[in-house]
Amino acid sequence: MPQYAAPRGTLDVLPEDQPYWRYVIERGHYIAQLYGFEQISVPMFESTGLFIRGVGEGTDIVDKEMYSFQDKGGEEITLRPEFTASIVRAYIQHGMHTLPQPVKLYAIGPIFRYERPQAGRYRQHTQFNVEAFGEQDAALDAEIMEVARHLYADLGFGGLGFQVNSTGCPICRPQYVSLLAEHYGRHVDEICDDCKRRLQRNSLRVLDCKSEGCQPVIAQAPHITDYLCDECATHFQRLQRYLRGLGRSFTIQHRLVRGLDYYTKTVFEVWATDIGAQAAVCGGGRYDGLIELLGGSPTPGIGFGSGVERIILAMRSQGVAVPALPRPCVLIAPLGDEPKVAAVRLLADLREAGLSSEIAFGDRSLRSQLREADKQAVQYALILGEDELRASQVIVRDMGGGGQQSVPMSALAAWLKERVSA
Ligand code: HAM
């Protein structure tokens, strides 16, 4: 066993995994920009109070999962356990309410949660996250869901289920919550201890409980969509009309409540069928009260976060291939002292010309250097001995076809550029 290993719940993304990472992130940028989102980068840590206020006391994230500490100046700091609160903070801090609305922002980066690690659930994961501020229209809710759908379709994986629900608003939710509490009150002996606690602090979350005993109680629970106020009901109807108009399939999942407190109206998740228990590749929704809660003027907002690791798990389990990353195409094999000085110079020139090139290090025989070229799977080996140096030429050996020819040093970069496949 090595003396040090990566911390539990974290991943090393090794070179062989990087093509997936590069591709997903590159397509994420492309799709976000296609839908008119602009990139924002926010700090990896913020004042702890921002997340307590934003995500909500009583949520698993705030109660159990935050990496919080006091810094050397005595500030209470937390590694971001999500993007939304940070991006809302930035929207308020930089007066973005004065910009034309909606303001559409996206971010990609690491997120930290002290969770119990398992396949697809990590203590550091990476989110592709979009947020749109300043627009109530349910057509925007549909657009946000389209960003996720388009990204997954573009990446080439399927088998996804879109689940939607409405969590109402501060006007209609309290009535539903008391009905839910009454229902649970009639089944106190059947429900788990966690749900008893949730009823006190975070009542909607009882609908999300996985314990077996609670399932019959959940199945008989009232549906929030039957108790929405007119505004929330109309909003939810309109969203469904837009989604149907787009020809998108989705299910209304009455149990869908999400684990963060700020949601109002629309909530949604996207589930992949074949990546195990941690199957939500995406979760999001509307948060029309959050900006005001964090000190801004009343402004609606909506967004989602999608875990890059889970996207890649889904792609791999479905055998989705991604483009390989470019590799060196040329290896220079010098023979002798003077040729090596020239080879080091040639190597620099080729790289300046944009040709990814290598040299065989150590003073080795031609055979050994050509073996190296084979191992590195370069297209061409450039052989440079005393005779070639005198004639200002190199011997270019085609490592695939096996033929070779002399090319003047001055024309070499152009010659290679015409032939190497990028
Ligand atoms: P969330 O559902 O907590 O929502 O996370 C969003 C997505 O991040 C999940 O669907 C999943 O793909 C990924 N994810 C979450 N936790 C982990 C983990 N421990 N390991 C691997 N992947 C994970 C939010 O964070 C909200 N801020 C999303 C949002 C944005 N809502 C509105 N705007």
Q: What local confidence, expressed as pLDDT, does residue 200 receive?
A: 82
pLDDT in tens, 126-136: 999 999 999 99
Task: Quickly state the pLDDT bin for 245 (edges 50, 70, 90).
Answer: very high
- Does residue 293 have a pLDDT over 90? yes
Residues of the chain with CATH 3.30.930.10: 15-172+228-317
Q: What's domain 330-414's architecture?
A: 3-Layer(aba) Sandwich (3.40)
Residue nearest to atom 10 of ligand 1 (CA): 282
Average of per-residue pLDDT across 204-213: 89
Cα(162) to centroid(ligand 1), Å: 15
278, exposed or middle or buried, with CB in 10 Å at 0-12, 13-18, 19+? middle
Q: What local confidence, expressed as pLDDT, does residue 44 receive?
A: 98
Taking a C-beta distance cutoff of 8 angstroms, is the pair 378, 370 a contact? no
Cα(198) to centroid(ligand 1), Å: 21
Cα(269) to centroid(ligand 1), Å: 10
The partner residues of 272 in beta bridges, in order of sequence, read 160
Task: Quickly state the pLDDT bin for 414 (edges 50, 70, 90).
Answer: very high
Average of per-residue pLDDT across 351-376: 96
Work out whether strand 380-384 and strand 330-334 pair parallel, antiparallel, or are unpaired: parallel
Q: Average per-residue pLDDT in the chain?
A: 95
Task: Quickly state the pLDDT bin for 378 (edges 50, 70, 90).
Answer: very high
Task: Quickly state the pLDDT bin for 322 (edges 50, 70, 90).
Answer: very high
Task: Give the CB-side neighbour count of residue 304, counting CA atoms within 13 A.
Answer: 29
Residue nearest to atom 16 of ligand 1 (CA): 121
Q: What local confidence, expressed as pLDDT, does residue 277 receive?
A: 61
Cα(225) to centroid(ligand 1), Å: 24
Q: What local confidence, expressed as pLDDT, does residue 75 receive?
A: 98
Name all residues whose Cβ lies below 6 A of ligand 1: 82-84, 113, 115, 120-122, 125, 127, 129, 131, 259-260, 280-285, 303-307, 309-310
Cα(276) to centroid(ligand 1), Å: 16
Task: Quickly state the pLDDT bin for 198 (edges 50, 70, 90).
Answer: confident
Position in ligand 1 atom list of the atom nearest CA 122: 20
Average of per-residue pLDDT across 98-106: 98
Residue nearest to atom 23 of ligand 1 (CA): 307
- Does residue 422 have a pLDDT over 60? no
Residues of the chain with CATH 3.40.50.800: 330-414
- Does residue 70 have a pLDDT over 90? yes
Q: What local confidence, expressed as pLDDT, does residue 207 receive?
A: 93
Q: What local confidence, expressed as pLDDT, does residue 1 receive?
A: 80
Position in ligand 1 atom list of the atom nearest CA 281: 12
What is the percent of the chain with per-residue pLDDT over 90, rounded to a whole number?
A: 89
pLDDT in tens, 150-190: 999 999 998 899 999 999 999 999 999 999 999 998 998 89
Task: Quickly state the pLDDT bin for 410 (edges 50, 70, 90).
Answer: very high
Average of per-residue pLDDT across 313-341: 95
Q: Which CATH superfamily is domain 15-172+228-317 in?
A: Bira Bifunctional Protein; Domain 2 (3.30.930.10)
Position in ligand 1 atom list of the atom nearest CA 259: 3
Which residue in the block uniquely carries the two structure tokens 């007119």? 230
pLDDT in tens, 5-44: 999 999 999 999 999 999 999 999 999 999 999 999 999 9
Question: Could you tell which of 21, 78, 127 is best to mutate to test the pocket of ligand 1, judged by most ligand atoms within 8 Å of the CB?
Answer: 127
How many Å is the Cα radius of gyration of the chain? 28
Task: Quickly state the pLDDT bin for 58 (edges 50, 70, 90).
Answer: confident
Position in ligand 1 atom list of the atom nearest CA 61: 3
Taking a C-beta distance cutoff of 8 angstroms, is the pair 51, 293 a contact? no
- Does residue 84 have a pLDDT over 90? yes
Joined together, the tokens standing for residue 198 give 């949730």
